[in-house]
């Protein structure tokens, strides 16, 4: 079979496709013939070596997949050969066949596009759990979304509108119209001071700020909160530059994240929370199953609209990573073996 391999940290040039023997599932594992696997910004952090708790080379990237079970390992009882499942792998999904723990497999109906479901497993799941599991958003509350035109950002806006939230989103000037179409008030981060704009629009700040960029931005996002507000930090955007590890950004991220966490501890009326999808999945697998089913229902009702920007072969994985930094790649980039 074919799989993508990163043999050293670096840019897209470190991605290679190799042929290896098919894997065999171990105890508690099922083997999946992959129909679609995702390429995300998190994969660039894995590739650059800046992802917290990430593997060391050589390894296969790929945060999520949808496929058909074709072999069952010892001790499995819930999943059967022929079942279509989705799984959050964190790494390892960019291959023709992948072994995943049965406990992490979620059932996928056959009447939905596997590439669209890949968006539900990671970007939309992240957005849903940010709003409803971590921030515990209530109808009528106000939410500031950084990077609102990105893949997770647009998912937050769609889900936030369904939940009856008042939405504000930062984006570049060229993306502000798209943010407005999703029902949010757009803030051009190039030309506007988002902190001044938020306070001007709301008076006393927002109930929730979702920060997928992190670093020094988190400190200013905390100041955008009204009394009783919650800041959720879930990203490390500045730790890479031109696809490679950015050491000044890494240092700034840790310093600022530590500072805002301390600020949250000392503040009597505002909270700082963190979110990592893989950690929540480990501790609350029942939440992952329930939230995935909720997202599937929204997809069936036409309430959410995952956008698949590109469907590429495994052999085009370098191009997929290059597209991640391009404004032309709006929506999910999917590898289709």
The per-residue pLDDT for 328 is: 43
CATH 3.40.50.720 domain residues, the chain: 122-278
Can you say how many angstroms the Cα of residue 62 is from the centroid of all Cα atoms in its chain? Answer: 12
CATH 3.90.180.10 domain residues, the chain: 2-108+307-335
The predicted model scores a pTM of: 0.89
Assign domain 122-278 to its CATH superfamily: NAD(P)-binding Rossmann-like Domain (3.40.50.720)
Reading the chain (337 residues) residue by residue, the pLDDT tens digits are 999 999 999 999 999 999 999 999 999 999 999 999 999 988 998 999 988 888 999 999 999 999 999 999 999 999 999 999 999 999 999 999 999 999 999 999 999 999 999 989 889 999 999 999 999 999 999 999 999 998 899 999 999 999 999 999 999 999 999 999 999 999 999 999 999 999 999 999 999 999 988 788 888 999 999 999 999 998 777 667 666 677 777 777 777 777 888 878 888 889 999 888 877 777 787 889 899 999 999 999 999 999 999 999 999 999 999 998 664 457 899 999 8
Q: Which residues contact 300 (CB under 8 A, 6 or more apart)?
A: 112
Distance separating alpha carbons of residues 198 and 205, to the nearest angstrom: 6
Strand partners, 98: 32
The per-residue pLDDT for 91 is: 95
Q: Is the dihedral of CA 214, 218, 221, 227 positive or negative?
A: positive
How many Cβ atoms sit within 10 Å of the Cβ of residue 126?
A: 25
64 contacts 7 by C-beta, under 8 angstroms: no
Instruction: Assess if CATH 3.40.1160.10 describes domain 2-108+307-335.
Output: no
Structure tokens of 55?
Answer: 């593997």
How many Cβ atoms sit within 10 Å of the Cβ of residue 17?
A: 16
The per-residue pLDDT for 238 is: 64
């Amino acid at each position: 079979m074919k799989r993508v391999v990163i043999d050293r940290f670096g840019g897209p040039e470190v991605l290679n496709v190799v042929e290896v023997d098919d894997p065999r599932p171990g105890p508690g594992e099922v083997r999946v013939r992959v129909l679609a696997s995702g390429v995300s910004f998190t994969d660039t952090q894995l590739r650059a070596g800046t992802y917290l708790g990430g593997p060391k080379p050589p390894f296969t990237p790929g945060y999520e997949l949808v496929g058909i079970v074709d072999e069952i390992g010892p001790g499995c009882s819930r999943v059967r050969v022929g079942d279509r499942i989705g799984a959050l792998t964190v790494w390892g999904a960019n291959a023709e066949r992948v072994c995943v723990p049965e406990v992490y497999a979620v059932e996928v109906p056959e009447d939905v596009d596997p590439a669209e479901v890949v968006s539900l497993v990671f970007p939309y799941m992240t957005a849903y759990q940010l709003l409803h599991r971590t921030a515990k958003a209530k109808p009528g509350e106000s939410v500031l979304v950084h990077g609102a035109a990105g893949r997770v950002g647009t998912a937050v806006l769609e889900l936030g509108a369904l939940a009856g939230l008042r939405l504000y989103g930062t984006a570049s000037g060229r993306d502000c119209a798209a943010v407005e179409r999703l029902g949010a008030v757009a803030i051009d981060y190039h030309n506007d001071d988002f902190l001044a704009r938020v306070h001007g629009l709301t008076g006393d700040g927002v109930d929730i700020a979702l920060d997928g960029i992190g670093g020094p931005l988190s400190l200013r996002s905390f100041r955008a909160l009204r009394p009783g507000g919650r800041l959720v930090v879930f990203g490390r955007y500045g730790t890479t530059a031109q696809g490679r590890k950015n050491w000044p950004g890494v240092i700034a991220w840790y310093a600022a994240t530590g500072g805002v966490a301390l600020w949250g501890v000392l503040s009597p009326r505002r909270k700082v929370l963190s979110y990592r999808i893989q950690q929540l999945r480990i501790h609350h697998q029942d939440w992952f199953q329930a939230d995935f089913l909720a997202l599937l229902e929204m997809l069936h009702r036409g309430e959410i609209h995952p956008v698949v920007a590109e469907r590429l072969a495994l052999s085009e994985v370098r191009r997929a990573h290059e597209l991640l930094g391009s404004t032309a790649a709006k929506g999910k980039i999917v590898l289709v073996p």
